[in-house]
């Protein structure tokens, strides 16, 4: 049979392997015991856990065991929630980068923004996280003033990680209404802004 002819069905060993989707579990306030049980009983269907910053003390054992079993542990600094009127809580305000009110854009500008980026990275390193959801905010569209500020925050956060010398990945969490994604022109506006600090 000629070499350019593929006989069907192909033997299983000749079929291309599938790349599994990365499955991460966002751990709720009271889910840590269930997740610990999953880890200790040999769960391998998930890649890691997303931990809300305000729950670190409650989930410390989960973080320790997840790292011991080589799962990723992702810090959510909750900056998206902090930017919503009514989204602020006493527990979020108590975080090193927290505020006693909902956040506004000036809280993440210039020196104050750089300090918040440093606090997020310091917290992630001190608590043994492998990845950080960047300190971003929910955007209303491509002209939202938070977009430029969030890009700067991501750059400052990446700089802080580089300075630390510790291997921690940074994830840009782009949160926006589904209507924006449905409009091709607005999607391309986001692609054009990617990575530019202003």
pLDDT digits (tens, 9 = 90+) for 110-124: 999 999 999 999 999
As given in the structure block, the two tokens for residue 66 are: 């997840």
Contact (CB, 8 A) for 173 and 136 = yes
Output the pLDDT for position 193: 55
Q: Is omega for the bond preceding 192 within 30 degrees of 0, making it cis?
A: no
- Answer yes or no: is pLDDT of 86 > 90: no
Output the pLDDT for position 188: 66
- Answer yes or no: is pLDDT of 40 > 70: yes
- Answer yes or no: is pLDDT of 4 > 60: no
Output the pLDDT for position 60: 95
Q: What is the mean pLDDT of the chain?
A: 85
Residue 168 vs residues 145, 162, 165: alpha-carbon distances, Å: 28, 9, 9
Signed CA dihedral, 134, 74, 100, 161: sign only: negative
Average pLDDT (129-135) is 94
d(CA 198, CA 187) in angstroms, rounded, equals: 19
Residue corresponding to tokens 């840590």: 32
For the chain, what percent of residues have pLDDT higher than 70? 83
Contact (CB, 8 A) for 171 and 136 = no
- Answer yes or no: is pLDDT of 198 > 80: no
Using DSSP's 3-state secondary structure scheme, residue 71 falls into coil
Residue corresponding to tokens 């080589």: 70
State the distance between the two ends of the chain, measured CA to CA, in whole angstroms: 61
The model's confidence at residue 192, banded by pLDDT at 50, 70 and 90, is low
- Answer yes or no: is pLDDT of 11 > 80: no
Using DSSP's 3-state secondary structure scheme, residue 30 falls into coil
The model's confidence at residue 152, banded by pLDDT at 50, 70 and 90, is very high
- pTM of the full predicted structure? 0.81
Contact (CB, 8 A) for 171 and 130 = no
How many CB atoms are closer than 10 A to CB 75? 25
Output the pLDDT for position 189: 62
- Answer yes or no: is pLDDT of 166 > 50: yes
């Amino acid at each position: 049979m000629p070499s350019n002819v593929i006989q069907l069905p192909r033997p299983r060993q000749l079929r291309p392997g599938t790349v599994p989707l990365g499955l991460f579990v966002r751990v709720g306030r009271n889910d840590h015991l269930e997740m610990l049980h999953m880890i200790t009983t040999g769960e391998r269907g998930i890649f890691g856990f997303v931990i809300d910053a305000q729950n670190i003390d409650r989930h410390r054992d989960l973080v320790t065991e997840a790292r011991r079993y080589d799962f990723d542990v992702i810090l959510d600094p909750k900056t998206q929630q902090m930017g919503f009127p009514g989204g602020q809580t006493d527990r979020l305000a108590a975080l090193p980068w927290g505020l006693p009110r909902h956040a506004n854009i000036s809280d993440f500008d210039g020196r104050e923004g750089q300090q918040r980026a440093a606090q997020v990275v310091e917290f992630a390193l001190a608590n043994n996280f492998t990845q950080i959801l960047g300190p971003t905010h929910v955007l209303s569209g491509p002209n939202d003033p938070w977009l430029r500020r969030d890009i700067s925050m991501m750059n400052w956060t990446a700089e802080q990680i580089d300075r630390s010398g510790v291997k921690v990945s940074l994830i840009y969490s782009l949160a926006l209404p589904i209507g924006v994604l449905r409009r091709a022109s607005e999607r391309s506006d986001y692609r054009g802004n990617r990575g530019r600090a202003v």
